[in-house]
Structures are given as structure tokens and as C-alpha cells.
């Protein structure tokens, strides 16, 4: 190998951040665009199950090993009547869906989504409407879902064909209530009081649930982080998580800054943790607040097309970002941010899962296919289970229009002690030059490189389409392990998964 820029990393199995909560590999399905209708549900499609769920989509969701899916919104939940989506199909009303200005036929509702989640091997994270509704609708929905029987709402569920309770554990108290675009938008005091009282009623129905309070819609909200402080002042002892949402885009076509966006994301996470801990101290509480990063992704390609859509159609193609190669790099980097704070980030949902800003796309009546961002998501979800370790890293840095001192190397490390596997995720942010990564793994005696997966492409703007998968990982990474040291060549702008395993002989 010729000399290239050099970064070093030291990994020690004792430098533990925390056990990775697999729910950080969650995702999100909203009644929006073709996520539900034409995405997970398309009766009559050649690959549909008897219930109308697309098996080809389920297979791809299983490839991603998605442990939990947030539902039914999103902005949509803030004007949603959950009762519209249960009971005989022919009785379900068509409604004006206000968040995305479409017609909602309500052919899929709570029970159908729970059925789908079972087929896809995933759990449901349910959001309640704290926009147009409140305590009553939330406690009734919980009773409908989780109470065994003998009450009005639980018996109605049984009448609807679901004898066993759905046992949904995780519940979101509204969605982005800080956002002026939200139907029923509230001030932090209004929301905090409502969330606290809703939490109280819901826990009386089912004390085993976990609750997520709404944090800010993104780091640039003018009310951030005071929103978190005020909300938690009202709810600290009532909830288990505070949510974070963040989307990025490369609108100014400045890829050097774009790949550094996770510096911003790390700062977002750190600030929310600091705010949680401030309220904890203020309240002399013993409880630790955890983070649910329950919407994150790249979102900007489809903005213009969405502005052209006429309102009030059923399942139009909304938010159908076609992702390119550099988006995949940023997605890998965002996932590594969660691993670095695995001690506090316990849930995260890639928004969303199918057709709407999604790793999985479908054609109505046709095939399902993988977007570029599918691959880093799959890699970290499948191989990033175990204990997140804190590597000691030295990397050259660069400056961009938006950031200074950006490390060329972005990385996270997960050790799976049971499987005797060490996985190093790495991104070379340098757009033109390779980076030689030297990793000290002397504490992992007897390990060998099992696999070096690479996602690279000469064109940052390369995309996948239904017929052509131009961006795909390969397994021919250049790396070797000698005397407890790994040397790996990371080509310019590339994503890597280095999997080390204890030798069997
Ligand atoms: O995921 C798309 C939208 O982004 C969600 O409905 C909303 O919560 C966020 O603003």
C-alpha cells in the first residue's frame, strides 16, 4: 500500500460505554404518502399475504432486523381519531387528514398494524393524539389495546376479533408539540401539564407501560432547549424518555459540511442529556431520563415535488426521497452517534421505513427495492448488537463552511462478548483521499478479520432505482491483522464494517 493519511484507534474491551439497546435500530410508519397504502399494505398485490400485507416488504424489513416501529404518526397523529381505524372495514369513515392534506380511508388501523408488526417480527411503539384530543382518547386507546377483558374498550377489541391484548409497551405522548405546524400545537407549559396528566391516567390503566415525552422537533427550534427543560419540569417523574427528532439535507451541495452534520447531532444529544440532568438535579430526583431519538434521517430531495401535489387524494407519492451515496454515508454516521451515547440513547427510529423518506421503496403492483441508505442501516442494526466501546481515536481533521475540526475518521465500536465478535464501523469523510486506519486490538488475542464490508462509489450522487442497484456494499475491503494491530485502507468518502471474530482453531 502507498502511504495515505493516517488515523489511529485503540480498542480495549474494558472501555465500556454501555450495552446497546437494540431498540436504537427502530423505525417508523406513519399514515403518510405510500407508507401504509402501497407500502406495507396492498391487497391484490401478487406478493400480498391473505391479510393484504406485502410479503416482499416484510422480507426486507426482516433483513434490516427492525426491533420496534413507531405508529401511526408523526404529524398525522395530532388530528387522528383512533376509533376510526378499528371495527368492520365497511363502517370506517373516510377523513380529511389535516397534517398532509390527503384522504385517509382508514382501511389500516391499530389492529391491522399490530398484525403487520407480528408478521415483520417487530414491536409497536404507539403514539397518542395530544393535539386535538387528550387524556380521554389516550386512556381509551390504551384500554382497548392492553386491558385483558371485561371493560367497554377491551371487550370491543375482543368483538373486533382480537381476544388477546396487544400488550404494547411503549407509548409516545403526542408528536412534535413544539412545532407551530402541528395541529393542536402547544406551549411547553401547556404540553407539559397535559403530558403529565395523560401519563398519570395511562399508568392507572396499565402500570407496565413506558412513556416518551415530546422533546424538540429539531436542534434549530427557537424554543430548544427551554422546551425540554419546561416539559421535563412538569413530567420528570411521569415519563421514561424524552424524544429528539432531526433531519438533514445537502441543499447547498456542500458535501464536506454535509458529512460533518453528525457533529451537530452529537451536540444535540449532549445538550438534551445536560438538560435532563439539570432537571434531575433541580428536582433532587434519583431517576435517570433516557433519550428516544424517534425520528431521524436525511430528508430534502422530495421537498419540491411535494409542493406540487394537489390535496385530498388517497396515498399520493409524498416525501419520496431517492437517496444517493453520500446520504448513505451520513446515515451510517448518524447511527454511530447513537452508539457513542448508548448509555442514554435507548430508542431511535429511522424515519421512515417504506416509501416515505425510507430505506425500502415499492412500486404499486410491482417490486420492492433497497435505497442506498438501506445498507448502513442494515449493517449497524445487524452487527451493532452487544456493548458499545469507547475507542481512543486520533484522526486528522478538516474545516468546512459550517464546521471546524471535523475528524476525517468517524467511528463506533461494538463488542459482542457472547458471539466473540468485535465490530468496527468507520466512515472516511475525506472526499478525495484515502485514510489508513491503524487499530490496536492487542486485547483481543486470537481474533481474526472475519469480514471487511465496504460501501464506496466514485459518484457521491449515485442512486439506486427500482431496476438498478448502483450503490451496493462489497466484501473486498483492504485490511490485515498482524500482531494485534489491524491496518485498513479506507478509500475516499467510504463506509466500512470491519468484523473481527475469535478464531475457532
Ligand atoms: O417523518 C415525517 C414528519 O417529520 C413527521 O410526521 C413529523 O413528526 C416530522 O416533522
User: Each residue of 349-365: pLDDT tens digit?
Assistant: 999 999 999 999 999 99
Q: Is the CB of 176 under 6 A from ligand 1?
A: yes
73 CA to centre of ligand 1 in angstroms: 7
Q: Which of 295, 326, 421, 456 is catalytic?
A: 295
444 CA to centre of ligand 1 in angstroms: 43
Instruction: Report DSSP state, residue 469.
Output: B
Q: Using only C-alpha atoms, what is the Rg of the chain?
A: 23
Cα separation, 265 vs 218, whole angstroms: 10
Mean pLDDT of 196-218: 98
pLDDT of 314 over the 90 cut: yes
Which of these, 241, 243, 38, 27, lies nearest to 121 by C-alpha position? 27
pLDDT of 1 over the 80 cut: no
Q: What is the average pLDDT value for the chain, to the nearest integer?
A: 97
Active site residue 176: yes
Go through the domains of the chain in sequence order and give each one's CATH number. 5-13+388-502 (2.60.40.1180), 21-74+115-126+190-383 (3.20.20.80)
pLDDT the model gives residue 504: 72
Q: Is the CB of 351 under 6 A from ligand 1?
A: yes
User: Each residue of 227-260: pLDDT tens digit?
Assistant: 999 999 999 999 999 999 999 999 999 999 999 9
User: Each residue of 51-71: pLDDT tens digit?
Assistant: 999 999 999 999 999 999 999
User: Each residue of 434-482: pLDDT tens digit?
Assistant: 999 999 999 999 999 999 999 999 999 999 999 999 999 999 999 999 9
CA distances 121 to 59, 61, 377, 398, Å, are: 10, 9, 17, 42
pLDDT of 21 over the 80 cut: yes
pLDDT the model gives residue 503: 87
Q: Which of 30, 176, 228, 421 is catalytic?
A: 176
Percent over 70 (pLDDT), the chain:
99
Active site residue 295: yes
Candidate of 29, 176, 182, 296 to mutate for ligand 1, largest count of ligand atoms within 8 Å of Cβ: 176
Q: Is the CB of 73 under 6 A from ligand 1?
A: yes
pLDDT the model gives residue 391: 98
pLDDT of 2 over the 80 cut: no
pLDDT the model gives residue 4: 80
Alpha helices in 120-205 (DSSP H): 135-146, 152-159, 188-205
- The DSSP secondary structure of 203-218, one letter per residue, reads HHH-TT-EEEE---SS
Protein residue with least CA distance to atom 9, ligand 1: 74
Mean pLDDT of 23-31: 98
Protein residue with least CA distance to atom 3, ligand 1: 74
Q: Residue 149's CB: how many other CB atoms inside 10 A? A: 11
Q: Is the CB of 352 under 6 A from ligand 1?
A: yes
pLDDT the model gives residue 190: 98
Cα separation, 437 vs 496, whole angstroms: 11
Amino acid at each position: 500500500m502507498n502511504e495515505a493519511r493516517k488515523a489511529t484507534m485503540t480498542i480495549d474491551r474494558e472501555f465500556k460505554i454501555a450495552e446497546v439497546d437494540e431498540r436504537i435500530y427502530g423505525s417508523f410508519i406513519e399514515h403518510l404518502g405510500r407508507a401504509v397504502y402501497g407500502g406495507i399494505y396492498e391487497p391484490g398485490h401478487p406478493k400480498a399475504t391473505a391479510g393484504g400485507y406485502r410479503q416482499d416488504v416484510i422480507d426486507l424489513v426482516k433483513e434490516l432486523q427492525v426491533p420496534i416501529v413507531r405508529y401511526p404518526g408523526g404529524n398525522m397523529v395530532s388530528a387522528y381519531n383512533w376509533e376510526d381505524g378499528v371495527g368492520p372495514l365497511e363502517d370506517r369513515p373516510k377523513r380529511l387528514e389535516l397534517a398532509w392534506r390527503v384522504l385517509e380511508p382508514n382501511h389500516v388501523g391499530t389492529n391491522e398494524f399490530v398484525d403487520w408488526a407480528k408478521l415483520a417480527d417487530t414491536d409497536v411503539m404507539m403514539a397518542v393524539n395530544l393535539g386535538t384530543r387528550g387524556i380521554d382518547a389516550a386512556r381509551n386507546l390504551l384500554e382497548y389495546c392492553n386491558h385483558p377483558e371485561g371493560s367497554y374498550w377491551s371487550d370491543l377489541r375482543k368483538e373486533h376479533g382480537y381476544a388477546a391484548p396487544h400488550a404494547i409497551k411503549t407509548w409516545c405522548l403526542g408528536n412534535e408539540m413544539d412545532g407551530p405546524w402541528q395541529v393542536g400545537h402547544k406551549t411547553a407549559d401547556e404540553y407539559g401539564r397535559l403530558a403529565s396528566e395523560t401519563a398519570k391516567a395511562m399508568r392507572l390503566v396499565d402500570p407496565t407501560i413506558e412513556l416518551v415525552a415530546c422533546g424538540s422537533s429539531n436542534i434549530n427550534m427557537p424554543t430548544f432547549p427551554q422546551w425540554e427543560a419546561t416539559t421535563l419540569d412538569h413530567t420528570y417523574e411521569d415519563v421514561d424518555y424524552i424524544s429528539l427528532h432531526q433531519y438533514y439535507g445537502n441543499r447547498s451541495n456542500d458535501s464536506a459540511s454535509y458529512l460533518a452534520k453528525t457533529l451537530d447531532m452529537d451536540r444535540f444529544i449532549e445538550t438534551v442529556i445536560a438538560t435532563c440532568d439539570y432537571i434531575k438535579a433541580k428536582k433532587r430526583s434519583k431517576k435517570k431520563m433516557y433519550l428516544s431519538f424517534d425520528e431521524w434521517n436525511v430528508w430534502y430531495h422530495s421537498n419540491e415535488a411535494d409542493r406540487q401535489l394537489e390535496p385530498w387524494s388517497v396515498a399520493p407519492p409524498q416525501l419520496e426521497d431517492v437517496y444517493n451515496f453520500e446520504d448513505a454515508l451520513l446515515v451510517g454516521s448518524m447511527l454511530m452517534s447513537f452508539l457513542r451515547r448508548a448509555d442514554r440513547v435507548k430508542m431511535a427510529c429511522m424515519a421512515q421505513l417504506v416509501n416515505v423518506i425510507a430505506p425500502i421503496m415499492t412500486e404499486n403492483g410491482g417490486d420492492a427495492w433497497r435505497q442506498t441508505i438501506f445498507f448502513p442501516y442494515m449493517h449497524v442494526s445487524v452487527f451493532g448488537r452487544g456493548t458499545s466501546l469507547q475507542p481512543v481515536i486520533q484522526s486528522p481533521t478538516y474545516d468546512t463552511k459550517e464546521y471546524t475540526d471535523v475528524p476525517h475518521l468517524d467511528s463506533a465500536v461494538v463488542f459482542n462478548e457472547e458471539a466473540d465478535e468485535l465490530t468496527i464501523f468507520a466512515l472516511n469523510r475525506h472526499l478525495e483521499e484515502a485514510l489508513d486506519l491503524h487499530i490496536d486490538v492487542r486485547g483481543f488475542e486470537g481474533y481474526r478479520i472475519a469480514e471487511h464490508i465496504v460501501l464506496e462509489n466514485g459518484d457521491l450522487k449515485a442512486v439506486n432505482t427500482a431496476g438498478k442497484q448502483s450503490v451496493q456494499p462489497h466484501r473486498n475491503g483492504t485490511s490485515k491483522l498482524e500482531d494485534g494491530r489491524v491496518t485498513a485502507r479506507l478509500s475516499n468518502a467510504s463506509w466500512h464494517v470491519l468484523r473481527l471474530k475469535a478464531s475457532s482453531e
